[in-house]
Amino acid sequence: MNKNLSQFKKIVAPKKVVISLLKLKNYEDTNQAKELWQDILESLSNKIDKPTMALLKSLKPKGVKDKTILLECPTEQSKNWISQSLGRLLKSEASKRGISIKLSIYQETQKEYIEHTHQQNQDILDSDTTKQNKNDILKEGISPRYTFDNFIVGKRNEVAYKASLDVATNTNSIYNPLFIYGKVGSGKTHLLQAIGNKAYSFGRSVIYISMNDFTEEMVYYLKAGNIIAFREKYKYVDILLIDDIQFLSGKERTQIELFNIFNYLFQYNKHIVFASDKHPRDIKDISERLISRFEGGLLVETSIDEQIKLSIIKQKIQIYGLNIDDRLISYIKDNTTTNAREIEGLVLQIKAKGGSILEAIDEQTDLPQKPLKNIDVDFIKKVVASYFNLNTDIFNKSHKNKKYATAKHIAIFLSREFTDLSLMDIARAFNIKSHSSVTHSIKKIDKAIKEDKTIQYSVSSLREIIKTKAI
C-alpha cells in the first residue's frame, strides 16, 4: 500500500500519540446544542454558498460544556477545511451568542470523539489557528525536488510549461482542466509537481496523486463504508493533480467518482490538471462524458527534442556533482533516448562508477551499446518506399489505392516509433491536416499487426531494415 494511503488509514485508526479522546458523557444538554447550532446556521444561510451550507448542516451538535458546543464532523478533511476556511466566521457567530465551538471527528469503531491536539492545545476555532498558517494548508504528494526553476524549457514543451505556470499562479486561469500528454519521460510529472509547489507557495491547497493510487484509495474507502470521506477530501482542494490518467481505462467506478469530483471542482473554479502518456481519444474503455471534460480545457502535448535533451544532460551532470566533459556529454547523448528518467539513470550509473568513468568511456568496457542514430521521417519514408517499390511522393498525398494507403500508414506508424516527433510534427511531415489522422494510422497498423500476418511481417522486416541501416 502506498505512503499516502497509509496516511488515510489514520483517519479511521489514528495513533494515540497524536490524539486525545473526548467521551460523549463529558458533553451534556444535546437539545441546547442543537438549538444554538440551528440558530447559527440560520444566520449563515445568506452568507455562504449552498454546497458549503450543506456541509455545515451535516455537522452534528453533540452537547454543550463550559459554554462550548461540540460539533461532530464526518471526516478529518471536512474538519480541517471548515476550521481553515470558516473558522473566523463561525467564531464570530458563536461569540455573538456568548459561546465557542469545538470540532471533532467521530470514530466509528471506538464510538468515541477524537480531537486532534495542536501545537499549543488550543481550541480548533481559536483566533491563532484560524489564521492561514502555511503549515495548515493541504499539500499532499508534492516533492520539493520538482520546480519551474529547474524545468528545462524548449520549443517542444514551451506551451505546456507556460500553461502549467499560469495554472499555478493564477486562480482565474482559463486552462481548466489542463491536460498534458506525451511519451514517458517527457516532463509531465515534473510539470504537475512544479504546479503543486508553486501553488502551495501562494497559499493554495494541492493534492498530487497517480491514477492507480487514486483508484486504490477509492477502493479502500468503499470497503470501509466511507466513500463520502473520499469525495470530501478532493472536493475541498484548490488544485487537483492526477498523473498517469491513462490507467483510468476500464475502471468504471473510478470514472464515476472522478467525473463527480471533477464537476464539483470545476463548478467552484478549482483547478484540475491531468497528465497522460496518451491523448484522451487514445485511451480505451473510458466514458465519452469524461473525454468531453478532458477536451473542455487545454490539451497540450509535450516532448523532448535534441536541444532540450542536451540541456537536461548538462543539468543532471551538475546535479550529481560530475565534471562537465564533452566526452561525457557525448557518451550520455549517444546512449540514451529522449526520456529524461533514462538520462538521469545513466548519469547515476556514471556517478557510481566514480573517477574512472572517462577511461571506461574511451575503452567502452561494461557500458551499453550505442543506440540507433540518424533516423528521421525522410529516412523512414525512403526505407518504406523502397520496401514496397514505391516513390516517396506517395507519402504526401491521400490514397484510395490499398497498397499506397497501407504503405503510408506503416510509414507514419514507424515514424512515431523511431522518432521523438509529436503527432502534429508527424502530421506536417506527411502533409496531413490533423493529428487525429496520425493517431488513426498508428491505431490501424497496431491492430493490423495483431490480426494480419502480412502486415506483421512487413512491419517486422522494416524495423530490422531501419535498425540495420541506421547503425
Domain regions of the chain by residue span? 3-133, 158-301, 306-363, 377-470
CA atoms within 13 A on the CB side of 253: 11
Q: First CA to last CA across the chain, in angstroms?
A: 44
- Long-range CB pairs of 281-289, under 8 A, 24+ apart, other chains included: 281/436, 281/439, 282/439, 282/443, 283/245, 283/246, 283/248, 283/249, 284/249, 284/250, 285/249, 285/250, 286/248, 286/249, 286/250, 286/255, 287/255, 287/259, 289/259
Check: CATH 3.40.50.300 for 158-301?
A: yes
CB atoms within 10 A of CB 206: 26
- Lowest mean pLDDT, pick from 98-112, 229-243, 375-389: 98-112
Mean pLDDT over 54-83 rounds to 80
CB 128 within 8 A of CB 164: no
Q: Which of 133-137, 241-245, 461-465 has the highest mean pLDDT?
A: 241-245
3-state secondary structure of 164: helix
Mean pLDDT over 378-392 rounds to 87
CB 87 within 8 A of CB 76: no
Rounded percentage of the chain residues whose pLDDT exceeds 90:
28
The torsion of the CA quartet 141, 144, 146, 149, rounded to 10 degrees, works out to 140
- Lowest mean pLDDT, pick from 7-11, 196-200, 375-379, 408-412: 7-11
CB 191 within 8 A of CB 179: no
Q: How confident is the model at residue 357 (pLDDT cuts 50, 70, 90)?
A: low
- 33 CB burial (10 A radius; 0-12, 13-18, 19+): buried
Identify residue 365 by its one-letter amino acid code.
T
> What integer pLDDT is reported at residue 363 of this predicted model?
54
As a whole number of angstroms, the distance between CA 313 and CA 336 comes to 10
Whether residue 448 is predicted with pLDDT greater than 70 in this model: the reply is yes
> What integer pLDDT is reported at residue 4 of this predicted model?
47
The torsion of the CA quartet 281, 436, 263, 81, rounded to 10 degrees, works out to 80
CA atoms within 13 A on the CB side of 258: 32
> What integer pLDDT is reported at residue 129 of this predicted model?
37
As a whole number of angstroms, the distance between CA 424 and CA 413 comes to 14
As a whole number of angstroms, the distance between CA 300 and CA 286 comes to 19
Whether residue 65 is predicted with pLDDT greater than 50 in this model: the reply is yes
As a whole number of angstroms, the distance between CA 136 and CA 352 comes to 40
Q: Which residue has the higher pLDDT, 295 or 26?
A: 295
> What integer pLDDT is reported at residue 411 of this predicted model?
93
CATH topology of domain 377-470: Chromosomal Replication Initiator Protein Dnaa; Chain: A; (1.10.1750)
pTM for the whole thing?
Answer: 0.55
As a whole number of angstroms, the distance between CA 158 and CA 454 comes to 41
Handedness of CA 177, 150, 209, 115 (dihedral sign): negative
φ, ψ for residue 104, nearest 5 deg: -140, 165
> What integer pLDDT is reported at residue 70 of this predicted model?
87
CB 466 within 8 A of CB 373: no
As a whole number of angstroms, the distance between CA 236 and CA 68 comes to 26
* Strand duo 271-276 + 139-140: pairing: unpaired
- Domain 3-133 classification at class level: alpha beta
